[in-house]
């Protein structure tokens, strides 16, 4: 396989990994805050913090991995995005910083603070919205090159229907992914009360998720017809995504096999995300950066792939241990350990 394709595939897998773990985390933060203000705190917050506490740092690493990998495999892309995203990127960073540290303050600190929980919950919805702008920009039309300068057309981004449809999709998918995971987690913990509540969340957010996906498709057709055409060529990937979505939906309604249902949700997003990514190729940033124009030199490419494989050999067993101890250990989830 070509180094460029290999590089972008590795990055895309990481971005997908981040999408899932971060969605669970972002959504859980929002639900935890929602639980506090609606008086459901005792039902779900314990469950959420038991899952999140050991893994929140890992979530953050997925993100760092993605952008470090992007610099490594495609330094030119880092240049364009770096210049263009100074302000939006910095805002995302500040939100991430507030979220991460306030999670620690409210969970490990000795004080119960609704303000801390609010900051944690609110940023959980703002971050996906702000990070999704990077994907929107990649479609082209929001950056122009003036000589040596890269200029970001912020006002155009703010008034674009496509951009807003992506934001909506990002937020509702976060809530859907998160609630369907929590449904599974609650069922593992045999916590009927929490299960009832988070299952309701999942059933509630399922509709907006599918509507928002269709909206993104429609507005992409207007914003970038070329990409839209290529996406239609890959219709079977999106079809598979829809199929898995339906299975997840049926399982949720029937109210059993929540683990399987969450896996179906994973497949749903996997196919949609890879369909989107594949149809966007070869562009990383239309029309300035393609995977061929900006890839790193051969030697570094091989070094990165080698480091990547060696790293995975180390990480996969460690992640396995983490999951076994906290996610699949029934006694731990129930709160007995």
Partner 1 sequence: MEWSNVDWSRMLTAMTLGFHIIFATIGVGIPVMICLAEWIGIKKGDSHYILMARRWARGFTITVAVGVVTGTCIGLQLSLLWPSFMRIAGQVISLPLFMETFAFFFEAIFLGIYLYTWDRFKKPIYHWLLSLPVVIGSSASAFFITTVNAFMNTPQGFKLKEGALVEIEPIIAMLNPATPSKTFHVLTSSYLSAAFILAGIAAFAILRGRGGDYQRKALKLTLTAGFVFALGTAIAGDVSAKFLSKYQPEKLAALEWHFETEPGADLLLFGKIDENNEITNAIKIPGMLSFLAGNSFGHEVTGLNEFPEEVRPPLWIHYLFDSMVGIGVFALMISGTYTIIGKRRSSIRNSKLLLMMIISGGPLSMLAVELGWILAEVGRQPWILRGYMKVSEGATTAAGVRMTFMLFLGLYLLLGTITVAVLGKMFKNKPPHVELGERYGK
Nearer to partner 1, 67 or 276 (CB): 67
Binding mask 208-247 for partner 1 (x = CB under 8 A): ----------------------------------------
Chosen residue from 98, 203, 234, 247 binding partner 1 by CB under 8 A: 98
Q: Is residue 110 at the binding interface for partner 1, with CB under 8 A as the rule?
A: yes
Which residue(s) pair with 152 in the sheet? Answer: 143
Q: Is residue 84 at the binding interface for partner 1, with CB under 8 A as the rule?
A: yes
Q: Please, are residues 295 and 3 in contact by the beta-carbon 8 Å criterion? A: yes
Nearer to partner 1, 29 or 69 (CB): 69
Q: Is residue 327 at the binding interface for partner 1, with CB under 8 A as the rule?
A: no
Distance between the two ends of the chain, CA-based, in angstroms?
Answer: 47
Cα-based angle 30, 89, 9 (whole degrees, multiple of 5): 85
How far is C-alpha 318 from the chain's CA centre?
Answer: 22
Q: How many CB atoms lie within 10 A of CB 190?
A: 11
Nearer to partner 1, 150 or 194 (CB): 150
Which residue(s) pair with 290 in the sheet? Answer: 283
Q: Please, are residues 74 and 284 in contact by the beta-carbon 8 Å criterion? A: yes
Least CB distance to partner 1 at residue 56 (A): 8
Chosen residue from 48, 96, 272, 285 binding partner 1 by CB under 8 A: 96
Nearest to 128 by CA among 278, 267, 12, 26: 26
Which residue(s) pair with 145 in the sheet? Answer: 150
Size of the site for partner 1 (CB under 8 A): 69
To which residue do tokens 């949609």 refer? 272
Nearer to partner 1, 73 or 258 (CB): 73
Q: Rounded to an integer, what distance in angstroms lies between the CA atom of residue 60 and that of residue 49?
A: 16
Least CB distance to partner 1 at residue 92 (A): 8
Q: Rounded to an integer, what distance in angstroms lies between the CA atom of residue 183 and that of residue 212?
A: 22
Chosen residue from 233, 318, 328, 335 binding partner 1 by CB under 8 A: 318
Indicate the Cα dihedral angle 165, 167, 170, 175, nearest 10°. Answer: -100
Q: Is residue 109 at the binding interface for partner 1, with CB under 8 A as the rule?
A: yes
Report 36-75 residues binding partner 1 (CB under 8 A). 53-58, 60-61, 63-65, 67-69, 71-73, 75
Least CB distance to partner 1 at residue 131 (A): 11
Binding mask 132-151 for partner 1 (x = CB under 8 A): ----------------xxx-
Q: Is residue 185 at the binding interface for partner 1, with CB under 8 A as the rule?
A: no
Q: Is residue 253 at the binding interface for partner 1, with CB under 8 A as the rule?
A: no
Helix segments in the chain, DSSP class H = 3-38, 41-73, 75-84, 86-108, 114-138, 154-159, 161-188, 192-223, 225-233, 235-254, 258-280, 298-326, 330-333
Q: Is residue 78 at the binding interface for partner 1, with CB under 8 A as the rule?
A: yes
DSSP 141: S
Report 292-311 residues binding partner 1 (CB under 8 A). 296-297, 299-300, 303-304, 307-308, 311
Residues in the site for partner 1, rule: CB under 8 A?
53-58, 60-61, 63-65, 67-69, 71-73, 75-76, 78-87, 89-91, 93-94, 96-101, 103-105, 108-111, 148-150, 152, 296-297, 299-300, 303-304, 307-308, 311, 314-315, 318-319, 321-322, 325-326, 337
């Amino acid at each position: 396989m070509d180094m460029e394709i290999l590089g972008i595939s590795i990055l895309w897998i990481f971005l997908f990994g981040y999408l899932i773990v971060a969605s669970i985390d972002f959504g859980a933060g929002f639900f935890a805050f929602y639980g506090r203000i609606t008086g459901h705190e005792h039902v779900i917050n314990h469950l959420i913090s038991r899952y999140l506490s050991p893994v929140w740092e890992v979530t953050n690493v997925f993100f760092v991995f993605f952008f470090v990998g992007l610099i490594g495999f495609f330094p030119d892309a880092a240049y364009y995005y770096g210049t263009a995203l100074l302000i939006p990127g910095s805002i995302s960073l500040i939100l991430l910083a507030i979220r991460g540290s306030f999670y620690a303050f409210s969970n490990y600190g000795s004080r119960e603070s609704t303000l801390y929980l609010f900051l944690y919950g609110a940023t959980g919805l703002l971050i996906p919205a702000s990070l999704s702008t990077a994907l929107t920009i990649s479609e082209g039309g929001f950056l122009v090159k003036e000589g040596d300068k890269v200029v970001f057309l912020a006002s155009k981004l703010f008034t674009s229907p496509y951009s807003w449809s992506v934001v909506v999709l990002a937020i509702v998918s976060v809530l859907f992914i998160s609630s369907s995971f929590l449904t599974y987690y609650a069922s593992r913990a045999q916590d009927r009360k929490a299960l009832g509540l988070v299952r309701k969340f999942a059933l509630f957010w399922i509709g907006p998720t599918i509507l928002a996906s269709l909206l993104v498709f429609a507005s992409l057709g207007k914003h970038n017809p070329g990409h839209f055409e290529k996406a239609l060529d890959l219709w079977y990937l999106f079809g598979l995504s829809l199929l898995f979505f339906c299975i997840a939906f049926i399982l949720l309604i029937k109210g059993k096999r929540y683990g399987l249902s969450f896996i179906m949700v994973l497949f749903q997003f996997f196919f949609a995300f890879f369909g989107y990514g594949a149809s966007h190729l070869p562009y990383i940033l239309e029309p300035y950066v393609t995977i061929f124009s900006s890839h790193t030199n051969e030697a570094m490419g091989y070094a990165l792939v080698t480091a990547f494989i060696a790293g995975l050999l180390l990480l996969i067993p460690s992640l396995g241990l983490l999951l076994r101890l906290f996610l699949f250990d029934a006694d731990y989830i129930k709160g007995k350990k």
